[in-house]
Amino acid sequence: MKAEYDFSKARKGAVLPASGKKVRITIRLDREVIEWFRARVEARGGGNYQTMINEALRAHIVDREQPLEDILRRVVREEIKRAS
């Protein structure tokens, strides 16, 4: 190793820039919520619990934007299929 390194042209921050699609935030969640997602990641054999949280939030938004009638029809179809 060198005795000294030249950091005069170094920059602070991530080595790779963020993709631009995602935003870094700080959020406080219940410990049980985080443990639940981490357990699901482990049960799947790996992955990222933060991605799973993002997917769950996105699914919730889509469900909220769907008309209630569409949701009820989908649920009834699923239950009829399951009962058959």
Whole-structure pTM over 0.95, yes or no?
Answer: no
Q: How many CB atoms lie within 10 A of CB 37?
A: 19
Q: What integer pLDDT is reported at residue 35 of this predicted model?
A: 97
Q: What is the pLDDT of residues 17-68, one digit of tens each?
A: 777 888 888 999 999 999 999 999 999 999 999 999 999 999 988 888 878 8
Please state the φ and ψ torsions of residue 62, each to the nearest 5 degrees: -60, -45
Q: Is 53 exposed, middle or buried (0-12, 13-18, 19+ CB in 10 A)?
A: middle
Q: How far apart are CA 52 and CA 48, in angstroms?
A: 7
